[in-house]
Amino acid sequence: MNRTIHFAGDGLGPRKVFVNGNQIDGVFFADIQRGIVRYHPRPFRAHKRRKGELYERTLKGRVEVFPCGEAQ
């Protein structure tokens, strides 16, 4: 199992994700090695062109992932 990739439903429990030292909420995919995080910004909204999907954003930078209760 590759522990540099984290995603919702991978069985590792809830985590806190930081990009360049800033905590990001609503993360559904994080790759530590490549420095990529995909998340749903709040408030949730529908995607304009892809009907039935939530709008999502991608961030790039220094990614850190901690199990809940062990962050900074």
Domain boundaries, the chain: 5-41+54-67
Task: Enter the tokens of residue 71.
Answer: 């962050």
Average pLDDT over residues 25-53: 87
Q: How far apart are CA 64 and CA 72, in angstroms?
A: 10
Task: Enter the tokens of residue 35.
Answer: 């420095």
Q: What is the pLDDT of residue 44?
A: 73
Q: How far apart are CA 14 and CA 27, in angstroms?
A: 10
Whether 1 has a pLDDT exceeding 80, the answer reads no
Among 56, 23, 43, which Cα is nearest to 15's? 23
Give the predicted TM-score (pTM) of the model: 0.80
CB atoms within 10 A of CB 26: 14
Higher pLDDT: 15 or 52? It is 15
Higher pLDDT: 37 or 6? It is 37
Q: What is the pLDDT of residues 2-34, one digit of tens each?
A: 788 888 888 888 899 999 999 999 999 999 999
